[in-house]
Amino acid sequence: MGRYTHKTAISNHRLLDYSDGKVTFSYKDYRQGGKKKEMTLSDVEFIQRYVRHLLPKGFRRIRHFGFYNGAIKKKKVTQIRTSIGQKPPKIKEWDWVKISSEKLGYDPKVYPCCKERSMVIIPRFASQRAPPKKENLNAASIN
């Protein structure tokens, strides 16, 4: 009863019969290659097994398997796209100088003191803090 992602533990079409305090339902026996079988349980036993699959309030049950499995997703999705003739999506490249000019309103290649466009930028890893405020980027605060 546990092979599900966003669904319930057992769907209505698998419930075959309820009579005389007995519940009959279908299931797949994966130990025998996914062979479809039927099981009959007392109503109390059925409810006890069903309740094991209920999560506490606020929790979600999500499992990824098949080609959405995280360990093989990238490789398999690429293979699937190739097999159906779909090109991989284009990854947008970011021009950090253009973004700095547009979003922050300053050109990072212009030297703040003399306003000459001769500054050489040496890239470094981004810090783990918020970006500087626009008003803090004037020539007086950069020395």
> What does the pLDDT read at residue 46?
92
- pTM given for the model: 0.40
DSSP 141: T
From the number of C-beta atoms within 10 Å of its C-beta (0-12, 13-18, 19+), residue 46 rates as buried
> What does the pLDDT read at residue 114?
76
Structure confidence by residue, pLDDT tens digits, 18-68:
999 999 999 999 899 989 999 999 999 999 988 887 777 777 666 666 766
Domain boundaries, the chain: 12-83, 94-124
Structure confidence by residue, pLDDT tens digits, 37-50:
999 999 999 999 88
> What does the pLDDT read at residue 2?
43
**What three-state secondary structure class fits 96?**
helix
**Amino acid in the structure at residue 71:** A
